[in-house]
Structure 1
Amino acid sequence: MKAIRLHAFGPPENLVLDELPDLGPAPGQVRIAVEASGVHLLDTAIRRGEPGPLPPPELPTVPGREVAGVVDVVGPDTDRSWLGRQVVAHLGAVPGGYAEQAVTEVDRLFAVPDHVTFPDAVAAVGTGRTALGVVELEPAGPDDVVLVPSAAGGLGWLLVQSALAAGARVVAAARGSRTEVLSELGAHLVVDYGEPGWDKRVRDELGGVTLVHDGVGGVVGRAALELLRPGGRLVMFGFSSGTPTEVTTADLVGRGISAGWSLGPRMAALPGGIPGLAARALDKVAAGEWRPLVTTFPLGEAARAHAALEGRRALGKVVLLAEHR
């Protein structure tokens, strides 16, 4: 099989296409003929060798933890009804997604309906489950004004859709040319947070906001916090800028806002845990309630996909497609 391997930590060019032996599933496992592989911002940090929530892998390694395709082999003592079915899976802490084949345990599989594309299924099982966790922990309502920085990313795109469906007024924010795609979502206001005065525009036109879904952090996250009206809520789930949003005691006490980190134990404690979130996110995609935004690259161009994701040039969820497509 063909697979992308990382032989040394460093720049995107260190991701190379190799020929590896075919995989064989163990008892309780299946092999997936992979059609689509998800690329996550965490993958880029791992590639650079930076510390993070997962231990650094032994090299060489096949990155990636989100795959969709067709089960083509089942392991011993494994339910054979999975054979030939379209599935999507999050591989967990075990990498191996950037490849033509992947093996995983049966209990990690989700059936993919025929009308759902493999890239959309990949967007649901990873990014979608996180978006749904953010929404379920702090849902928007019809009285809310919601600000979503990085709305042109895979996660932000879904958060905007959720807030609009809840009847909230929504500010969709992105940087540069990425703002152009946001007009498709129907947000009440689209702003470029790379331009000076973007926050003043939000305040002038909407009088501030009541809820911020913050995955950017840094200067942008702090500006978003400052836009919160008294009693507003800041929900943090990442800091793509490199630093988390600074929150002080004066913000919490003096202005009466609430601020919390949504990833980790709080999200895992939701009904069904993380697998339950993935299942419900896939259901929303299948029902047409969510329309993921996806940018695709051929499997062999994983280096270009990483560079586009790191450079904030890719729109939505980045997905690698099998070369035979």
Structure 2
Amino acid sequence: MAGDGGPDGPGAKGGWRRTGSLDEFLAAAGPFLRSRPALHTVALTVTDGLVRRGLDLYGDEPPRFGWHEAPGEVPAALLWTPPFAPMLIGGDEAAARGLARVLAEAGGPAPGGIGARVEQAGAFAGEWARLTGRAARRTFRKRLYRLGALTRPTAPPGRARVAGEGDRTTLERWHDGFAADVGLTVGFGAAAWADAGLARGGIRLWEDGGLPVAMAVATPPAAGAVRITTVYTPPHLRGRGYAGAVTADLSARIVAGGDEAVLFTDSANPTSNGLYRRLGYEPLADFAEYAFGADPKSP
């Protein structure tokens, strides 16, 4: 599938072009993604990982890409890295419904869901349900924040430091604890996640009494933005200010490096939303994820 709007013929369908070529996708949609690095942070870090580590980064099934064309611009893009659901980046509700129609008519593997800004995700999910008869259920709603002026909290006892190889067992355990807390698959398995974070020096720990008590993780910089992920404190150590301290430390380092700091929260979690607002993070956009039920035509 290359630059085709479908698996077989040339040209765009419904304004959408699809391809299996990462190079072709980045040539067409890369300027659009880089035009708003904070808002497009996930797409930028995912494509950066695919460039650096190969198209099999997330599994054996090849990624799929696409972009929506309008006169003189690319206002939306599709990034689908199985086994994860497709991401729709940008566009309006009409473009979202158009993408649902294109994928429904394309044949081949059907998406198990969709992730996009709230309005676009809802439009895609509604159209997909109408076309396929598969029920659409919203599974997650999250808010993207961008750091304004950092306000450091009163620091708890201890200090921040970069994680090292000696922290591997703790990191892998905390990775799984974070995944259980949020109820989501967090990228790779714990060992591969720790490998990548340690290799780039992107995991910050707060240490108290010589022991790590909290962590925050930074993605590699992409087009001038760095996303903080996997902020975690073990349950028996919560409520002591460790998460705020390590997040503030990592945020300050990102800004000092000349990048914007961004992060996501679960919109329904008042604790995390309150914490990041106190640190100076400001809401940028709301996103939703939907899962699709089984095909009613299946045996």
TM-score, normalised by the number of residues in structure 2: 0.23
